[in-house]
Amino acid sequence: METTLIILKPDTVQRQLCGRIISRFEEKGLQIVGLKMAHLKRELVEEHYAPHKGKPFYDGLIRYMTSNPVVILGLRGRNAIEVCRKLMGATFGYNAEPGTIRGDFGISKSMNLVHGSDSVESAARELGLFFQGYEVFDWTPQGLDWLYDATEELGR
């Protein structure tokens, strides 16, 4: 089971799409293990997006991510990172396939609704930036056996 970080960006919050987008993750079978709303500080956003420093879009991205509140999620599930990235769709809304979050709700190149970790290593780093250890919960949903073949996939 993987745990990944998802950020519902300022445009999602402003457009009041949080519930609809969170529902997509839950309906797929991903488990919410962390959830909070925050108005991000510049220093945190700069650390989060440090790999993009120096790129032409970096300054605008920092302004955008600190402009309004965001919703931060920790999601857990089998192959959670890959599953979330497929649900989100291509980075730019105008390129994203219908049926994906960005394909259904986005058209912008710069405001793309949602961030998701792109690797196990990134997820661990990002979860550590946005959540204290006690803010990510370890719990088992009662319906878990109905999502996975418990004997094969969960080792039960």
CATH code at position 76: 3.30.70.141
88 located within any domain = yes
DSSP secondary structure of 115-153: EE--SHHHHHHHHHHH--GGGS-----TTGGGTS-HHHH
User: Which is the catalytic residue, given 39, 48, 52, 115?
Assistant: 115
153 located within any domain = no
Q: Is 69 exposed, middle or buried (0-12, 13-18, 19+ CB in 10 A)?
A: middle
Report the C-alpha gap between 95 and 33 in whole angstroms.
30
25 located within any domain = yes
146 located within any domain = no
* Residue ranges in 67-111 assigned as alpha helix (H): 80-88, 101-105
What total number of domains does the chain contain? 1
Report the C-alpha gap between 119 and 122 in whole angstroms.
5
143 located within any domain = no
60 located within any domain = yes
115 is catalytic: yes
93 located within any domain = yes
Give, for all 156 residues of the chain, the pLDDT tens digit. Answer: 999 999 999 999 999 999 999 999 999 999 999 999 999 999 999 999 999 999 999 999 999 999 999 999 999 999 999 999 999 999 999 999 999 999 999 999 889 999 999 999 999 999 999 999 999 999 988 888 888 876 566 565
154 located within any domain = no
- Look up tokens 């919050």; give the residue: 13
In terms of residue numbers, what domain contains 77? 2-138
